[in-house]
Amino acid sequence: MPIVKAIQRNIAEQIEDLRRKILLLEGDRKAYYESAEWKMKENREKISKLRSENKELRKVKCDKLAADEHVVNKGLEDHPAERKSLKSKPGAVAVVKMDEKVRDRVNILNKHRDKRIKLQKKLEELRTKYDEQTKDAEEAAMTDAGESAAAQRLRNLENQLDKANLKSKEAEHIGKTYLEIKMRLEEEHQTFETTLDDMEVEIKKLRFELQELQTMKNDAIIARDIAKSQLEEQEKEVYAERRKRELELHKVRKEAEEKKMLQERYQYRIAARNSAVTEDVTSETKTQPVEEDQQKISTYEQAFHKIKEATGVSDTQEVVSRFENQGETRKQLEEMKAQNEKQIARLKEESERLRSQFEEMKYTGEAKLSSGQRILEDFEEHVAKEESERDRVRDMLEKSSKVLTDVKIGVEHLAHKLHHLKAPSSQVQKAKISPASDEYVLDQLSISEEKLLKLLEEIDQQGHDLDKLIKDMEEEDFHNTIEMKLPVHNTRVKLPTSTKDTMYDEDEDSGEDEDIPTRQTLKRASQQIVESKTRRGRPGKRKKKGK
């Protein structure tokens, strides 16, 4: 709906504009009609006046024809010498003679006029030539000084051309370098197969040695695993013996506790029996030694209990024998430990030696194998870098060529747009340049610049308002776009036509108004004026946008 309202509003505004234009045209018609009426009145008066003058002239002519002598005297009143020569001759002869003299004088006058016109044309040509030469000299001086825009643009184009030439030479140099690298690689390729065969033989030899070392490594791993398994078995045996000792110690500990309980009961009975027999004094004196003995006994029992737990036996003789044999057992265990450690160290050394030999042979084999490959990879990397640089330079060259092509197309388009304008004589007099050459674009650019400058000067001299012209053109484009967007079935509203004036009716009745323009003629004339203004305004708009 808002779009429909906007279109309706635009149509209403267009209708109002058309109505105002029609009213203005009606006012112009009335003014033109009044001026035509006044002109006709003047023409009638002039006709009546000329008729009266014609009558008088006819009367004079009749009088002159009636009297030849009077004609001669009257005609040659200011020329007494000619009047004397024609005094005795009739009027017709006098008229013929005078006509001949007049024709001669007219011919002489025409010759002098023609000569004067030729001299004036030559003078104008010399002046224009002088102005053009002066202007060319000023432009040449400005170009030599580097102050003109054309000189600056020419310098920029020359700099760009020099840069493009340098880049092209650099690309050619890089291409030659690539060709040399390619030739070297081809030469190396001829001897590469033999080198590759030698390397393959060396690789097979190293692989065979590697297999032997691998078998040695596997044997060493098997020996290591066997030593580990033996060590684990010995550790299991030691753990089993220790477990057995712990069980025996637990058993001896239980027996010691039972004996201790029996000993305590026995001592309790003895103490009770002694306390009943002895007296209080003796009991007091003997209390302290008994307590000391009891403390020593408990200390010994605790030490014996710990010894039984450590040895895992319960009998006292076994404990003593164990303590006697403990030094030999420890010595044997230490000897076994030392032997096992020596064997482990020897196996580790052998494993490290085999591993180092394997790594050394592996690296030497790889070094021998990859020496040629490394050289080849270095050359390939260098070639890849040079190819990337070549691609970069090629892209830059393509971009420069594309920009240069766009510039040529733009200049040709501008020259085509300005082909209807007359070029200055300084540009026309130059030698014709081939369109295929590079100088053709520069020549077209300079010619277009001269045309645009000349067009600007003409616009400034005529006093046209560029902003107003551009605004009118934008309004016209807007109306055209609105009319193009209207639907096909849209119908225009016809405005009511005003009745003709009575004066206009009278004009139609009279037969003397055949040259008065009609309404259609006025419309066509106004449309032609608008179109001519629009055509004059368009170059100015393009120039302004170009700035």
Residue-wise pLDDT for 480-490, tens only, equals: 666 665 555 55
Mean pLDDT of the chain: 73
pLDDT of 178 over the 60 cut: yes
Q: Among 99-103, 324-328, 445-449, 496-500, which stretch is predicted with the lowest mean pLDDT?
A: 496-500
What residues contact 250, with CB distance under 8 A and at least 6 apart?
309, 312
Q: Mean pLDDT highest for which of 48-62, 145-159, 430-444?
A: 48-62
Identity at 102, one-letter amino acid code? V
Percentage of the chain beyond pLDDT 90 is 6
Query: What integer pLDDT is reported at residue 542 of this predicted model?
Result: 44
The greatest distance separating any two alpha carbons of the chain, rounded to the nearest whole angstrom, comes to: 229
* Nearest partner of 186 among 454, 376, 362, judged by Cα: 376
77 — pLDDT class (breaks 50, 70, 90): low
Q: What is the mean pLDDT of residues 416-430?
A: 64
pLDDT tens, 298-310? 666 666 666 666 5
Greater confidence, 471 or 177?
A: 177
Q: Among 163-172, 331-340, 507-516, which stretch is predicted with the lowest mean pLDDT?
A: 507-516
Query: What integer pLDDT is reported at residue 431 of this predicted model?
Result: 58
Q: What is the mean pLDDT of residues 125-140?
A: 86
Query: What integer pLDDT is reported at residue 427 of this predicted model?
Result: 47
Query: What integer pLDDT is reported at residue 305 of this predicted model?
Result: 66
121 — pLDDT class (breaks 50, 70, 90): very high
Q: What is the mean pLDDT of residues 158-177?
A: 86
pLDDT of 230 over the 70 cut: yes
Percentage of the chain beyond pLDDT 70 is 61
Q: What is the mean pLDDT of residues 33-40?
A: 90
181 — pLDDT class (breaks 50, 70, 90): confident
4 — pLDDT class (breaks 50, 70, 90): low
Query: What integer pLDDT is reported at residue 311 of this predicted model?
Result: 57
Query: What integer pLDDT is reported at residue 373 of this predicted model?
Result: 64
> To which residue do tokens 């449309």 refer?
527
Query: What integer pLDDT is reported at residue 307 of this predicted model?
Result: 62
Q: What is the mean pLDDT of residues 448-462?
A: 78
- Locate 57 and state its tokens: 């002239």
Alpha helix (H) residue ranges in 278-286: 280-285
Q: Among 112-116, 348-352, 499-503, which stretch is predicted with the lowest mean pLDDT?
A: 499-503
Long-range contacts from 237-240, C-beta under 8 angstroms, 24+ separation: 238/333
Burial tier of 472 (Cβ tally within 10 Å: 0-12, 13-18, 19+)? middle
Q: Among 24-33, 125-134, 338-347, 510-519, which stretch is predicted with the lowest mean pLDDT?
A: 510-519
464 — pLDDT class (breaks 50, 70, 90): low
* Nearest partner of 304 among 247, 352, 360, 252, judged by Cα: 252
Q: What is the mean pLDDT of residues 10-22?
A: 86
pLDDT of 53 over the 80 cut: yes
Alpha carbon distance, N-terminus to C-terminus of the chain: 42
CA 231, CA 343: separation in Å to the nearest integer?
11
* Nearest partner of 209 among 371, 372, 360, 373, judged by Cα: 360
Burial tier of 178 (Cβ tally within 10 Å: 0-12, 13-18, 19+)? middle
69 — pLDDT class (breaks 50, 70, 90): low
Q: What is the mean pLDDT of residues 142-160?
A: 75
Query: What integer pLDDT is reported at residue 495 of this predicted model?
Result: 45
Query: What integer pLDDT is reported at residue 502 of this predicted model?
Result: 42
Q: How far is CA 315 from the centre of its chain?
A: 102
pLDDT tens, 268-309? 777 766 665 555 545 444 445 556 666 666 666 666 666 666
- One-character DSSP codes across 444-462: HHHHHHHHHHHHHHHHHHH
Greater confidence, 308 or 167?
A: 167
> To which residue do tokens 């299991």 refer?
236
CA 440, CA 232: separation in Å to the nearest integer?
99
Q: Mean pLDDT highest for which of 100-114, 284-298, 358-372?
A: 100-114
Q: Mean pLDDT highest for which of 119-123, 456-460, 482-486, 500-504?
A: 119-123
Question: What single DSSP character describes residue 486?
Answer: S
pLDDT of 85 over the 70 cut: no
Greater confidence, 326 or 227?
A: 227
- One-character DSSP codes across 495-527: PPPPPPPHHHHHHHHSTT-TTS--HHHHHHHHH
Is the pTM above the cut of 0.75?
no
Greater confidence, 266 or 54?
A: 54
Residues in the chain: 547
